[in-house]
Amino acid sequence: MFGLPSIQKLIVLAAVVAAVWYGFKFLGRLQAARKEEARLREKQGGRPARKAEAPKAEAKGGEVEDLVQCPSCGAYIQAGTTCDCGRKG
What are 28-80's pLDDT values in tens digits?
A: 999 999 999 999 888 887 655 455 555 555 545 667 788 898 888 888 888 88
Give the type of residue at 7.
I
Q: Where are the alpha helices (DSSP H) in 1-89?
A: 7-43
What does DSSP assign to residue 60?
A: G
What's the pTM value of the predicted model, to 2 decimals? 0.42
Break the chain into its structural domains and give their ranges: 1-46, 61-89
Q: Answer yes or no: are the C-beta atoms of 44 and 37 closer than 8 Å.
A: no
Quick one: 19 exposed, middle or buried, by C-beta within 10 A (0-12, 13-18, 19+)?
Answer: exposed
Q: What is the pLDDT of residue 60?
A: 58
